[in-house]
Structure 1
């Protein structure tokens, strides 16, 4: 057991729980529970979104992918970071101006359809489970590496799954969005500081990124592979320039040119459809604040992934030279190459910082898991608590009943994820174990990018969009994504497999086309222009539109009534309803 790591993790979790308790919602309003009263500041929200987004797959996985595949691994960092560009340009501000509780709520109200709302809720839950289960698996794996002991007779893996889910369930169920926001903000700062600390130590000890890439590119790229005779090093063939070996500093070690494009598109468009990330924009006080928050997120996310790529390169360059001095690396490496690439950051932490360094990096990995799980549970609570329970199961629910329904759903979803993670228990750790986590997270991005993102963009930017079109697009997009992902697992390495394993390049255009064709064959909702002004009009346009609606809804004045007083009351109502 790494005492330093356990102490670090315990302290950070304790501080986060205290913060969540102090910032918990004081009332029973669903706006407070799900959206933190729509009063989350720009900087705090940007930190929380980053905490939502940066999971263990990002913290350990990006560095591992760069370590294993060189430049090809950096495409993960490019896709993850680039995903917030369409969010900034096309989604954040209009989504917030419309002002609902969740993506399903937005689509249902925009298109005046409960069918759209329920279909979107199903898509959201599919994405959440696809993301939540591997995060729970990652929590168990990290606890197994970090602590190595179970509690109450349970295995270390199962203990990690249950502890991480239990802590986060408490934060979300009783702290709501406000408590989770501060929890995730604190967690992101801890994770980013851990990575900055590690990068600083590497530079102080003489690491130079450019020189390292050049040195690593002087020889073929290799990785350990398991055969019937044991472990042996395998040279990666270049999949772009066939007939030669891949090298660290050039693309081709893992993906063809089509595969590189497909991966970046899947991760980029998938980001815009992730419910736990997009729901955070409803907590911003205004559309301008949502857009400014995204600018901050782009900067913070970009810095994080740049450091992750740098550290993956550092691990590939430093570890072979460190084997002779640090004999504990013998058990983790084959001829100086890590058997499990996800050990890259923990190994660097121990090389540069001893047991303290290993503890800090390992604790940060488990913290990243817990922070992402918090956002996923909140998204599930908002979707099932607000969009399903309040509207269909108990439409006359009091605010107190609605909040407690959201809390109960949080615990139920956490329980289901825990059961699934235990069933998927990988047993003894091996090279294939972390690949399960990374692969399932990519599946969640693919379903989001195929099923939700095209419909979301059309609902925001295309006036003729209809409920029929939205349902058609979501169902077809999900079907294409799931079918492609399953099929890709049966194919040998080929450009076709690259495309099907990251299918958004195929599924998103098909879903958008199907949604557009179905919309042309059906009637758009009656208040398209009002919705358009709400999402895209200037502040003056929105005030005028609300004023017109208030005047139209007000009763006609009786004879002798002072119409000036009526206009004054209407203007007073309008000021009270401004967003």
Structure 2
């Protein structure tokens, strides 16, 4: 373990814990714990959303996918960056105007159905689990590369998974949404600064790329050898499917969408999304540049740096997610490695924090407060959220330890990016169609929403499991990113079921709340006040 590694990790933990202590909730109310009192400003919230969204899959996975697959890997960046366009156009402002604690709560109240709320809880938890595991994997990879030693009898990888997840679980349980928001904002600034430094340094040195084709594995008795292939890994159909899956999935990600409930107004939510679009666009552009540079720089650096021999085979990294940390060490020595590895750890910690908080809101508020203990005090409800945070963290860490990445194949250039795609696929297939139609279609019914979520989730999971059993083909490319198919079927089911079931009685009022002008909403409130006063006089 190098002194730089110790200092870097200590600094990260101190900053994270320090921000949590300084910004801890001022009260024990659920609004303060889950929504930071709905007083988060535009700039702070945009930074926090970026910290929530730009995960280990973004920082390590996108560059790794570009490093391995060339142009194919860049489609991950396109899809991730495009995800906030549908959010800006269709979701952010109406969702905030309606106002709730979570996506499940929004759907349950909008459609006036406990069955819809509980169905959404199940889908949300599936998405969160699919997203949590690769973030914990990213923490383990970073510790393994930066420190290289395990603690308490665990391997270096398992130690990284367990420690990173434990630190975040404590931060979320103690700091709630307020502490998590400020942590994510600070962590995004640190993450972006590290990426910007590395991009400027690598670009200033110059690199020349003569082969942009994907790297293909060739089995040999000695292990993994790699050669440049003549064509891209996926056809155009697979590329389109991947971009659509990632773009539609964002609007169904619970940890990202829940942040919009913390904005003070619908206009603030929309403005926040504009800032996020600019920031994430810049981030992914830098990640693609660095993944491209790694294809040229790393093979040439093997002869000059003996330490690279342990990480490569035939001049190619055995674990593609090491691309950015290795570039950091090549250009900045131990300090550069420490900076980039710390950024990778920050990316994992920040997203895990958002996911655990979303899980806590779903179990603590949507289930415990509404069904298990409707008479719960605010203190009891917050305590339930904290307990579910710790349980979720333990489950994610356990699964991540079992899924240690040992390399790559042409069909899975980056484990963390691939696993996050699964989360986007479930969210985009099961939640996004229901959320968007609940906001923009008056004919939406509770039965249709439940049927749509079940259809989308089941079909998405079935398709990407099927893809793992299929040989390489255009059909496999399509079903491995199943949202175009699964979401389309879900929409058809929603429309058909809606035609045969009654829409909620409060559809008109909900529509006015989400889409009416400020004057319309004020007039409605005054009318209700007059009606209530008239009823009081008659009594």
- Whether the TM-score (by the shorter chain) exceeds 0.5 is yes
In 1, the alpha carbon distance for the partners of 2:270 and 2:326 equals 38
Give the drift of 1:558.
Answer: 4.4
Q: Deviating runs (4+, > 6 A) in structure 1?
A: none
Rounded to whole Å, the distance in 1 between the matches of 2:103 and 2:118 is: 11
Map of 1:52 onto structure 2:
52
Q: Distance in 1 between matches of 2:373 and 2:115?
A: 17
1:216 matched to 2:195? The reply is no
Please show how residues 393-542 of structure 1 align to structure 2 within 5 Å.
393-425=372-404, 429-431=406-408, 435-542=414-521
Give the secondary structure class of the aligned counterpart of 2:241. Answer: helix
User: How far did 1:513 drift?
Assistant: 1.1
- When residues 185 and 319 of structure 1 are mapped into structure 2, their CA distance, relative to the original with a 3 A threshold, is same
Q: Say what the alpha-carbon RMSD is for the aligned residues.
A: 1.8
Contact 1:5 1:360 in 2 (8 A): no
Q: Offset of 1:165 from its aligned partner?
A: 1.4
Deviation, structure 1 residue 434: 7.9
In the aligned structure 1, how far is the partner of 2:450 from the partner of 2:114? 11
Q: Is the 8 A contact 1:342 1:434 kept in 2?
A: no
Q: Which one has the largest radius of gyration? A: 1
Find the aligned partners of 1:54 and 1:256 in 2 and give their Cα distance. 27
Does the residue aligned with 2:219 lie in a helix, a strand or coil? strand
Query: Kindly tell me: are residues 229 and 17 of structure 1, through their superposed partners in 2, closer, same or farther at Cα, counting changes over 3 Å?
Result: closer
Aligned counterpart for 1:370 among listed residues 349, 353, 368: 349
Q: Which stretch shows the higher mean deviation, 339-348 or 100-109?
A: 339-348
Structure 1 position 235, deviation (Å): 3.8
Alpha carbons 2:68, 2:413 under 8 Å: kept: no
Q: Distance in 1 between matches of 2:445 and 2:120?
A: 14
Distance 1:152 1:434 in 2: 32
Q: Deviations over 1:372-418 (max 9, x none)?
A: 10000000000010000000000111111111111111111112222
> Aligned partners of 2:129 and 2:316: how far apart in 1?
34
CA distance in 2, matches of 1:318, 1:230: 23
- Structure 1 contact 224–337 (Cα < 8 Å) conserved: no
Q: 2:255 aligns with which of 269, 276, 289?
A: 276
**Cα displacement (A) at 1:339:** 3.3
Identify the residue that residue 283 of structure 2 maps to in structure 1: 304
Structure 2 partner of 1:168: 168
Unpaired segments of 5 or more residues in structure 2?
none
Query: SS where residue 18 of structure 2 aligns?
Result: helix
The answer for the alignment partner of 1:117 in structure 2 is 117
* Aligned residue runs from structure 1 range 4-83, under 5 A: 4-83=4-83
**C-alpha distance 418-322 of structure 1, shift in aligned 2 (>3 A):** closer
Task: Measure, in 1, the Cα distance between the counterparts of 2:413 and 2:145.
Answer: 12
CA contact (8 A) 1:6 1:146 kept: no
| Alpha-carbon contact 2:211-2:228 (below 8 Å) kept | no
Shift of 1:105: 0.3
Shift of 1:221: 4.8
C-alpha displacement at 1:529, in angstroms? 1.3
1:21 Cα deviation after fit: 1.0
Structure 2 counterpart SS, 1:216: coil
1:227 corresponds in structure 2 to: 220
Alpha-carbon distance in 2 for matches of 1:540, 1:264: 39
1:223 shift after superposition: 4.0
Query: What is the 5 A alignment of 1:307-346?
Result: 307-346=286-325
Counterpart in the other structure of 2:524: 545
- Report the equivalent of 2:87: 87
Kept after mapping to 1: 8 A contact 2:64/2:413: no
- How does 1:183-194 map onto structure 2 within 5 Å? 183-194=183-194
What is the aligned residue count? 537
| Local SS of the residue matching 1:120 | helix
Q: Distance in 2 between matches of 1:475 and 1:78?
A: 28
Please name the residue that 1:384 is paired with: 363
Does the 8 Å CA contact 2:75/2:239 hold for their aligned counterparts? Answer: yes
Query: Does the 8 Å CA contact 2:65/2:413 hold for their aligned counterparts?
Result: no
Tell which deviates more after alignment, 543-552 or 194-203: 543-552
Tell me the residue number matched to 1:355. Answer: 334
How far off is 1:107 after superposition?
0.3
Cross-structure match for 2:128: 128
Q: 1:333 to 1:90 in 2, by over 3 A?
A: same
Shift of 1:72: 1.3
Larger mean Cα displacement after TM superposition, 139-148 or 500-509: 139-148
Give the distance between the partners of 2:159 and 2:139, measured in 1 at CA. Answer: 9
- CA gap of 1:170–1:222, structure 2 versus 1, over 3 A, is closer
2:444 match: secondary structure: coil
Provide, for residues 174-206 of structure 1, a one-character-per-residue CA deviation record: whole Å limited to 9, x for no partner: 100000001111111111111001011112223
- The more displaced of 454-463 and 332-341 is 332-341
- Give the alignment of 1:144-155 within 5 angstroms: 144-155=144-155
* Alpha-carbon distance between aligned partners in 2 of 1:425 and 1:268, rounded to the nearest angstrom: 27
Check 1:102–1:493 CA distance in 2 against 1; reply closer, same or farther (3 A cut). Answer: same
8 Å contact kept, 2:142–2:160: yes
Equivalents in 2 of 1:434, 1:372: separation in Å? 22
Equivalent residue number for residue 577 of structure 1: none
SS of equivalent residue, structure 1 residue 395 = coil
Match of 2:265 in 1: 286
SS of 1:225's equivalent in the other structure is: strand
Closer, same or farther in 2 for the Cα pair 1:530/1:336, shift >3 Å?
same
Alpha-carbon offset, residue 369 of structure 1: 0.8
